Amino acid sequence: MDASRVLFAALLGLLVSCLIGYEAFPVGDDFAYGPLTEHRINPKLYVNDDQLRLFENHAYVYEWMYRAGRATVGVEPAFRLALWLLAVITTVAIWAMLRALEAPLAILPMVLGISVVVQLDGMGRGDFGGLTSPFFHHHNVALTLVIAAVAAAFFRKIWLAGILLGLAAYAQPMTAFHGAIVIGLGSLIRNPLDAVKLAVAAGVVAFPVAVWLFGAILNAPDSDVMIDLIADAYRFRAPAHYDPPWFDIMIATLYLMAGCAGVALLYRKKPDLARFAAGLLLGFTLLHLVTLVVYKLAIAEWVGFFILDANRSTPVLFTVGTSLAFAGMWFVKTGRGVWLTGILLATILLLNMKLAGIVLFAIGVAMMMAGDVPRTRAVVLCGLGAALLILFPAKPRPPYLPESTLLALAQIRTETPVDALFVIPVSLMEFRQYAQRSAYVDFKMFSVAQPDQASLTRARIEEVTRPAPEHRAMQGWGAAYLWDEEQNRQATCANMAEILATTGAQYILRRVFPDEPAPECPELPRPIMTETLAIYGSVE
């Protein structure tokens, strides 16, 4: 293995990370998995938080990384180091896949520019940072391991591919399952014995997490309120994941078509690799059809298809499809098939381009035009090094919460009992992380795959927000924000006292706006008040 090529791929990975940017911890799902991990570390926290305690953690890698960071350099630095490492591993894995296809190194930045550093880096559940994310997330760990498993399988390192898929299950089980589907089909078409080896290796490594996860779900207590998981949990909680825009479906279809065109070209020169690649794309096609037929067109809706989260692995599809297309064009070079593949890639570039991705694409084109890549490698490495000196590390984006809200949550953390229960605006997902107190319900910690937890969450959301009849059918975060506004408008002293009485909570939070001053309630003390939040307490 050429060390300079590995170094080139690693530096390119760091450059990609810089171009994508950085969002510091906590952000996004940190506001669910962070408190969940803190509760596991210190069971005295969140003792009255039923919603959190019913949430079964499937992201073991997240918890391990969180604990390691907390015990050493801190959670935020640990997550940032993990981001850099993931970016490097991902890029090296893509280069390894191209190397297995005998494609030149110059294609690597072109693949990154057209499939990773793009406007749409994944579809539905996969549109969460893509292969290289601006924030640490366990899903991205699983994606990295899956793309590495694909590369290993191209080299016929089937035992290694299975081990990587098994490890991916500890990060995101369903993403690992997608990897098993696509690599398994590819192996089955190429050599059925390879598929058996893959299943054995992945099954042995992932067995502990499978037993742990399914055992926890099966042993969960039944809730008093049962709901339609598809309508009232999956589609209600994240409609964009299960009803993606037609444009997104078109983009994903183009990547799939480009990959198929590349396989057709490869078959002329590399039939063995082409058969394996055809199996990969067959797996991605089946997953894509679930998104199109079941999620988008609402045909043959079954909760199992929703548990599958069929579009989670689309970032891998984007990269594999692009790599196969470029490799096929490299081998055949001329003909109508090459023109068709080139048109598909050009269409993707036009519709899904990002300026930073165009820069990467241009680097690859320049390397390709140089012809003798080894001669230009030193120049390119020096250029990458200079770019990293200027751009690295990426500047963190500012936090989303106003300073006055952070101040109020910090006061709650220091001035209220650790076992206090709060009724909060359901869209205030940051509450648990910053206040470290129990919340009656929020919209973030909604485990749609767990009937018991999903039922409790849905019932409590409607209990505290009391949405207007014309808004009850709304879905997603748009509904949560609107219902918060309605709850705010209805937050009279009497209503807040009633909610505290029915929920058994000790405190209720109300948002404060310049044109909506918080009411004065003699029967409800207001121990904490800032420009954006008012906290009312019940009288014992």
What is the per-residue pLDDT across 398-414, written as a single tens digit (0 to 9) for each?
Answer: 777 889 999 999 999 99
215 pLDDT higher than 70: no
Hey, how many other C-beta atoms are within 10 angstroms of the C-beta on 437?
26
225 pLDDT higher than 80: no
384 pLDDT higher than 80: no
- Give the pLDDT mean for 162-180: 95
pLDDT over 90, % of the chain:
62
CA distances from 131 to 61, 149, 161, 358 (A): 17, 14, 18, 17
pLDDT at 421: 96
**Residue 511 pairs with which residues in a beta bridge?**
533
**d(C-alpha 321, C-alpha 301), whole Å:** 28
**pLDDT band, residue 212 (cuts 50/70/90):** low
**pLDDT band, residue 1 (cuts 50/70/90):** low
Is the Cβ–Cβ distance between 170 and 209 less than 8 Å?
Answer: yes
Is the Cβ–Cβ distance between 448 and 235 less than 8 Å?
Answer: no
**d(C-alpha 38, C-alpha 458), whole Å:** 24
Is the Cβ–Cβ distance between 429 and 444 less than 8 Å?
Answer: yes
List Cβ neighbours of 334 (8 Å cut-off, separation of 6 or more).
none
Is the Cβ–Cβ distance between 152 and 186 less than 8 Å?
Answer: no
**In whole numbers, what is the pLDDT of the chain averaged over residues?**
89
223 pLDDT higher than 90: no
**d(C-alpha 113, C-alpha 453), whole Å:** 41
Helix, strand, coil in percent for the chain, rounding step 5: 65, 5, 30
Sign, Cα dihedral of 47, 48, 53, 55: negative
The pLDDT tens digits of the residues spanning 315-325 come to: 999 999 999 99
pLDDT over 70, % of the chain:
94
Give the amino acid at 532.
Answer: T
The pLDDT tens digits of the residues spanning 445-464 come to: 998 888 889 999 999 998 99
Q: Is 289 exposed, middle or buried (0-12, 13-18, 19+ CB in 10 A)?
A: exposed
Helix (H) or strand (E) holding 535: strand 533-537
389 pLDDT higher than 90: no
212-216, 277-281, 442-446, 472-476: the lowest-pLDDT one: 212-216
**pLDDT band, residue 59 (cuts 50/70/90):** confident
The pLDDT tens digits of the residues spanning 96-123 come to: 999 999 999 999 999 999 999 999 999 9
Rg (CA), the chain: 25
92-106, 273-287, 364-378, 497-511: the lowest-pLDDT one: 364-378
Angle between helices 373-391 and 355-370 (to 10 degrees): 150
217 pLDDT higher than 70: no
pLDDT at 64: 95
Helix (H) or strand (E) holding 58: none
Collapsed DSSP state (helix, strand, coil) of residue 413 = helix
224 pLDDT higher than 60: no
Chain centroid, CA 341 distance in Å: 29
Sign, Cα dihedral of 231, 232, 233, 237: positive
193 pLDDT higher than 60: yes
DSSP 450: -
**d(C-alpha 424, C-alpha 482), whole Å:** 14
**d(C-alpha 143, C-alpha 129), whole Å:** 11
pLDDT at 371: 66
- Give the pLDDT mean for 56-78: 93
List Cβ neighbours of 515 (8 Å cut-off, separation of 6 or more).
none
Sign, Cα dihedral of 341, 343, 346, 350: negative
Collapsed DSSP state (helix, strand, coil) of residue 438 = strand
208 pLDDT higher than 60: yes
**d(C-alpha 84, C-alpha 17), whole Å:** 7
Per DSSP, the chain holds a count of helices (H) and strands (E) of 24, 5
The pLDDT tens digits of the residues spanning 476-516 come to: 999 899 988 888 888 888 899 999 999 999 999 998 888 77
The pLDDT tens digits of the residues spanning 292-333 come to: 999 999 998 888 888 889 999 999 999 999 999 999 999 888
194 pLDDT higher than 90: yes
54-63, 80-89, 378-387, 463-472: the lowest-pLDDT one: 378-387
Q: Is the pTM of this model over 0.85?
A: yes
15-24, 177-186, 223-232: the lowest-pLDDT one: 223-232
pLDDT at 131: 82
pLDDT at 456: 93
Sign, Cα dihedral of 210, 240, 232, 223: positive
The pLDDT tens digits of the residues spanning 330-351 come to: 988 888 999 999 999 999 999 9
Cross-sheet strand order for the sheet of 421-423: 438-439, 421-423, 507-511, 533-537, 528-529
pLDDT at 451: 86
